[in-house]
Each structure stands twice: as structure tokens, then as C-alpha cells.
Amino acid sequence: MPDLKLFHFDIPTWGNYGDKALFPVVRDAFRVMGSGGSGGISSTSGGLSRPGGDMRQSGNEVDFTSAAALRREVDLALVERINSAADAVVIGGGGLFLQDTNPNRLSGWQWKISAEALAAIEVPLIIYALGDNRFPGQPEFDELMRSHVSQVLDQSVFFGLRNTGSIETMSQFLGAGETSRTDSIRFQPCPTTIAGLLYEPLIDRRSDPSQKILAIQMLVHPRQQAAGYDAEVIHQATIEAARLLVAKDWTILSVPFHPDDAEVSRQLVAEVPEVEEVRLHGSDVGFFAGFDLFASIPYVLGGRGHAQMIPFGVGAIPISLDLHAKLGYFAEDIGHPEFVVPVGPQGMADESEVGRDSSRRAQILARRIVDTIERAYAQGNDLQCDLLSTRQNLFDTTRDNHAVIHDLLRPGARPVSTGTTAGPSTCPERLRTSVDIRAEEFHLAAVAEAEEFSAAQTRDLTKVRREHKKKLEGAATHSKALETEREKLRAQLKHKESQLERQSAQLDAQTTELDAQTAEKNRQADEAAGLRKQLDESEVRLKSVNDRTATAEAKILIDKTAHGLAWRARRIKRAFKR
């Protein structure tokens, strides 16, 4: 019977290999560590040694009663089941502090639980290896998230973040001057970084750093492109770097972690035919496949967080492109920030000197990538030994954290140290075996199948709802447009009616005026007729007058003529008399 029974909020998936691998390893870390006992695996001059004695757990077992997808809304019914069956709740790991993945207004981050449901959880919370996953250029986290994560912190018996960078940013985000609040935030490495010390099939496995073998995972996400990262240049530089390395007798594998990586991987294989693809995403790939693969590969070039951490956890040397702050955080934590190649807008300032020639900029970046890989290769043995020692330190930190967790949950229940050869310890860890791995893969496949099916149904339902909402919005918009058109027509009708009324009034006025004008016309016509009659009469009278005048004038003229003739005749007569 387990001494501690835990409930796990995880992300069951086969789409993202990092998440697929992470959550089983979280559970296995608790199973292996138990109460935080012996160091189990010790480091000896770069090699590994097994713990002495039996590998079986002798007591203080820890196991999980159940799990639930953290991106699904947590209801009170689930909370009641947790309260009745579990001693504590594990949330994590992963970069859950992100607001645009699984966006919701219940919590403001990926764990979709309301403040009320969170408060109803009566058992302590264990925040395990979470990280600040905010992408370059994204806005600061909001007040809802601050309030919710603060509540989570208050309800947690252990609050562990996976890198010191996240501890700094989240302490600043949550602290707001309250040092005592953020002092409880601890460093808990992602358990994938110690996977080689948790699984029996990985013990004693160590890739040969003298072999020129490199695995590549690459993608510039649209989020990074939005922040100014040049996807075309970076992807082409990665392909060109692979081409240059193949020419130097390197064996290159393309290892897409996510369906989004597939296009870059296809392009890489198409342009550099010597590259072989080993796909890690998909329902047909178990969570352990990547650990098994990277245990035989000495060098890995990646742009995802788990493309660093998983290879590191099995002894590979991680080299990264600086696509996200978390990649730099991890490189700092393992003591080798020099193996992060700058590719952001500021880091590629030198390439801007060649102008807009993306081909030339890609060649310069490719040369930088190759130089970084060759620098790691040149110090391969020493570098690998150093990283294995760092891995052991991360293991010891994790073991100590589990001891703290167990002591807080079961005060005084942990047995007194027996002092094994591996260090100050209690009972030796029971490493996870191939049988355990297969059982976990079966469980994960079943849960992921159900979750993916449910997620697909949810996506379909969301799509239907979105389409229905779109139709409703379209209908509402159409109705509003019709109403607007109706109001417009009503206004136009009112305007027309007003115009008609005005025109009718104008017409009435014009009719009245026309009637008046007609009457005036008729009056003037009558006057004209009267005048014409008078004129005719005047003409008759004038003619009569004229006629009388002419007769009188003729008579006068005759009289005058007769008088003149008579006068002339008298003169003539007088003249004859003389």
C-alpha cells in the first residue's frame, strides 16, 4: 500500500513529444524517489555506478491514484474525488505559465480551474517543475493570472520551478514586494533531465562523443516570427548547416517533436538526402522512444525546451538556437550558455549588414551553427563528463526536494538514514524497468487515445459552435443590416412623403396661381377683344372721317383751282383790255 497517494494533473497527448515524454517521467520520478531516499546513482569520474544492494523499494512508496487533463475545466465533482482519495495533488511539469495556450478566464494560465474549485481542494498542492513559457514579444501576464497563481502558491506544500530564470521572473511577478511569499519557490529541475538515472534500461548507457552524430529538431513558431525572428533565414541556415556537416562526415538525423516541425523536417530531408528522419510525434511512438534514441546520439541541435532537456537527461550534449528565453535559462543552469546560438533580431544584427539577402544571411548563420557544434565536438569527452556531473547534481536536488515533500506531507514518517555507499540516504530507489515502461506506455496510449478522441470531439463541437455562433452572428448582422435598411427605407419614405407634401403644396399653390393667371389671361383676352372691337370701330370711324376729309379737301382743292383759274382769267382779260 503506497504511503503517499497522489493525484496528477497532466497533459495526455501524442501530438507534442515533449509533453508526451514529460508527464510519465514526472510520475516515475515520484515512484523512484519515494520519500526522497538514497542517491541511488552516483557519479564516478564521468561514469555511472549502480547503487549497492537490492533495487526494490522497501517502504515509503509513492504512487498515483489517478490523473486528469489539466487543460480541461476542473469541476467540483472531480475535486470531491480528489479530496476523498488523494493525499496531495501534483501539477506539472511543463511550461504551464503561458496565457495563449488553453486560454481561459478561470485561471489565466494553462491549468483550467476556477478560484472557487481551487479553494475547494482540501489536500496540499505540489507544483512540480513548472516554467515561465512566455514567448518573445508577448505581453506581460495579467492580474487574473497573478491572483490565481498566488492562490496556488498559498495552497502548495511545494512550489518548484524548472529553471532559475523562471524562479526569477515568477518571483518578480508574484512577489510585488512580498519577499516571504516568494521565498517558498524552489528549484525543481524537469525530471526529463535526470531520466537516465530513473530507468533501468538507460543505466550504463552513454553515447560516444567522438562519434559525429547529430540529431536536429527545428521550428520557428509563428509566435516567434511575430516577435521578429526570421523563419526563412533560420530554417534555411539549419538546412545549410546540415549540408556542411554532412560534407564533414557527420551523420545527421531529423527528429521532429511535433506535427508543426514536420514541414521543416521534410525540407531538410529533401534538400540534404543524407539526412534520415526519425519522427517522435504520433500515436505510434511511445513516450520512451526519444529517451532510447537520444541515449545513442552524442549531439543534439534543437529549438524546443524538451529538445534540450530530454537529450541532456540521457547523456547527450544539447546545442540550441536562442528561440525562447527558456532555452537560455536551461543552458545557464547546466553551466554552458555558450552552446546557445543567438538567432533573434538582436542576436542576428551582424547578418543585417549584408542587407536583405536572406540567402547570404542564412549562410552566415549556418557557419555560426557549425562552429558551435564543432566547438562542442572538440571538447566532447570533457563536456559530456561535466554534463553528467551536472545531471547527478540535478538528481540530488530532486531527491532532496522529494524528501522535503514527504516530510511535509508525512512528518516523522521517513526512516532514519542508513548511510549507503551512494551518499546520505534511507532506502535505495527502485528504478523503473522495461515492464514498468511498457505499462506506462499502455496507460498513456489509452489515456491519450481517449483524450485525443475527446479533444477531437471538443474541437469538432467547438467548430460547430463557432460555425453556429458565426451563423448566429451572421444572422444577427443580417437582421441588424435589414433593420438598418428598414430604418433607412422608413427614413427615405418619410423624406419622400415630406417631399410629396411639399410638392403637393407647391402644386396646389401653382394651381391656384395658374387659375389666377388663367383668369387674368381670360380678363386680358376679354380686354384685348374689347380693344380689338374698339379698334375695328375706330378704323371704321377713321375711314369714314378719312372719306369725308378727302371729299372736303377735294372740294377745297377744286374751289382753289377754280378760284385760281378765275383770277388768272381776269388777269388775262385785263391784259387784253389794255
3-state secondary structure 391-418: HHHHHHHHHHHHHHHHHHHCCCCCCCCC
Report which of residues 255 and 46 the model is more confident about.
255
**Average model confidence (pLDDT) across the chain:** 88
What's the CA gap between 63 and 34, in Å, rounded?
Answer: 8
Tens digits of per-residue pLDDT, 144-174? 999 999 999 999 999 999 999 999 999 999 9
pLDDT of residue 177: 54
What's the CA gap between 219 and 221, in Å, rounded?
Answer: 6
Report which of residues 505 and 378 the model is more confident about.
378
CATH match for 203-386 among 3.40.50.1100, 3.40.50.2000, 1.20.1250.20, 2.40.50.140: 3.40.50.2000
CATH of domain 4-200+389-448: 3.40.50
pLDDT band at 345 (very low <50, low <70, confident <90, very high): confident
pLDDT exceeds cutoff 50 at 133:
yes
Tens digits of per-residue pLDDT, 184-197? 999 999 999 999 99
pLDDT exceeds cutoff 70 at 304:
yes
Query: In which residue ranges of the chain is CATH 3.40.50.2000 found?
Result: 203-386
pLDDT exceeds cutoff 70 at 274:
yes
| Helix orientation angle between 17-33 and 434-577, rounded to the nearest 10 degrees | 150
Per-residue pLDDT, averaged over 373-383, amounts to: 98
pLDDT exceeds cutoff 80 at 354:
no
> Percentage of residues in the chain with pLDDT exceeding 70?
89
Q: What's the CA dihedral at 336, 341, 344, 346 to 10 degrees?
A: 80
Tens digits of per-residue pLDDT, 48-97? 444 333 334 444 689 999 999 999 999 999 999 999 999 999 999 999 99
Per-residue pLDDT, averaged over 294-301, amounts to: 98
Quote the pTM value.
0.78
Lowest mean pLDDT among 131-135, 175-179, 335-339, 557-561: 175-179
What's the CA gap between 324 and 176, in Å, rounded?
Answer: 25
The closest of 299, 400, 325, 405 to 138, measured between CA atoms, is: 325
Per-residue pLDDT, averaged over 196-205, amounts to: 97
Report which of residues 548 and 221 the model is more confident about.
221
Quick check: 163 and 181 in contact, CB under 8 A? no
Tens digits of per-residue pLDDT, 505-557? 888 888 888 888 888 888 888 888 888 888 888 788 878 877 777 778 788 88
**Lookup: cell for 34:** 519515494
> Percentage of residues in the chain with pLDDT exceeding 90?
63
Residues 6+ apart with CB under 8 A from 559: none
**Lookup: cell for 171:** 518571483
Quick check: 141 and 113 in contact, CB under 8 A? no
Q: What are phi and psi of 93, to 5 degrees?
A: -85, -145
